[in-house]
Amino acid sequence: MRTESLQRRPFQRRHLLRAAGVSISLPFFASLKASGDRPPTRSTKQRMVCIGNMLGFYPDAFWPQVEPTTTTSTLKTEGWLETKDFQWGRTTAGLEPLRDHLSVISGLDHGLKGGHFAIHAFLSGVRQIDAKSMPMANVTIDQYAADFIAGQTRFPTLTIGSESGIHQGCQLSWTRSGTRVPPIPGPQQLFEKLFIGNDAKSRDAELDRVRMQNSILDLVRDSAKDLSRGLNRRDQEKLDEYMTSVRDVEKRIALRRNWIDIPKPDAPFAQPKNRNMVEDLPLLYDLIVLALQTDSTRIATLEIGGDFNPNDLGVSGGYHGLSHHGQRTENIEKLITLETYQVEQFARFVDKLNELTDENGTLLSQTTVLFGSGMGNANSHTNTNLPVILAGGGFQHGRHLAFDPKSNSRPPLTNLFVSMLQNFGLETEQFATSTGTLRGLA
């Protein structure tokens, strides 16, 4: 599409700027009639990986067993306890060899309701529907952290997940303007992004995309100037916020331009083909390890969605249906089989990070890994007591931090995110609904 033809089009209220990966939406302006529809990081390279399960985990098999000793009374009187003497649940038993590199954290959530329609808030603490008036909308921790290391790696973040399944596919990552980050759908596309495109033809094509995006942004700026003449003060403020998002896109385009002439790493093996989520999961984890190891990115997210097919594990039934097991033993056993496989692949990923070393130590010690879900119990559609496991990052591990879900002094899960961001190198005391850092985490 040429710029000349774009200039002849009116600037619509619901206009979406979408071209070659750019996507920002114009806010609603009440005073117009509808016209159609950063602080420095520390010197060591810290990484962050967040893994989200769309349908949660069966609680009775996921959580560790806490012995009824004096520690349980501490949970009731002080609102939380820390114990190293715990037994993993059936689903998480495969994590035992990595105990010293992991912490399991129970009793925390975002205080939200909505079942499947609140899962997308797992990494933000805020539902999109509640975030429209918030300065940072429902930005997720990965995108928040990426802003502070922009330009240091070829890809600020890698968002991976399927677009199939329930509720419009992967919704794990959101920008600070409240825009969903489209995911990389499989290992074939992730491999291509990491390792393919070093030839002159690919570089020229990327330069053309950059020029196209800059032309579109020029049009947006000019159209916004015309639009601003008909706005009241409040809507002018909204437009100013929107133009801040436009400037952010400009910065990302400029940073991407800087990487066009820098060769990508050599591919370690032939490009794979997408198969199914069960078979692809180990390969996706391996590619994330390579992305971190080659410093192609320092931040990645992976969502295991509703397209995770039980039949590919030899289990009959649908994943979504099994998550609503209705307390039927047969369905619960099938669900535990699926969830155990997911935890085993997560354990394999953590182990790989721990095996790789450089002058600063293991890759795991430099990578904070969050594993969990925005769904606490899919059978009852609750978003409370979210399953959370934290690995690596130099934190003290080998323990179960248990918070009383009924305590008034219970911190929000976003407090953990503040601790993770600080560990990543950000000088921040606040993230979304947080009240500070997470006590007990060191």
Q: Which of 289, 399, 435 has the alpha carbon at shortest distance from 355?
A: 289
- Residues 265/269/275/278 CA torsion (nearest 10 deg): -90
Q: Is the pLDDT of residue 40 over 50?
A: no
Task: Say how many domains are in the chain.
Answer: 2
d(CA 186, CA 199): 23
Q: pLDDT at position 356, please?
A: 96
Q: What's the longest Cα–Cα distance across the chain?
A: 74
> Are 278 and 419 contained in the same domain?
yes
Domain edge (last residue) among 238, 263, 288: 263
In a domain, 148, yes or no: yes
> Are 224 and 337 contained in the same domain?
no
Domain edge (last residue) among 210, 236, 263: 263
In a domain, 393, yes or no: yes
Per-residue pLDDT tens digits for 376-389? 999 999 999 999 99
Q: pLDDT at position 26, please?
A: 47
Q: What is the 3-state secondary structure (H, E, C) of 181-226?
A: CCCECCHHHHHHHHHCCCCHHHHHHHHHHHHHHHHHHHHHHHHHHH
> Are 132 and 174 contained in the same domain?
yes
Write the CB contacts of 185 (distance below 8 Å, at least 6 apart in sequence): 160, 161, 162, 163, 274
User: Averaging pLDDT over each range in 124-138, 218-232, 403-417, which range is the top one?
Assistant: 403-417
Q: What is the CA radius of gyration of the chain?
A: 23
Per-residue pLDDT tens digits for 314-364? 999 999 999 999 999 999 999 999 999 999 999 999 999 999 999 899 999
Q: Is the pLDDT of residue 396 over 60?
A: yes
> Are 247 and 224 contained in the same domain?
yes
Question: Any idea what the CATH number is for the domain that residue 305 is in?
Answer: 3.40.720
d(CA 284, CA 187): 6
> Are 89 and 190 contained in the same domain?
yes
> Are 107 and 192 contained in the same domain?
yes
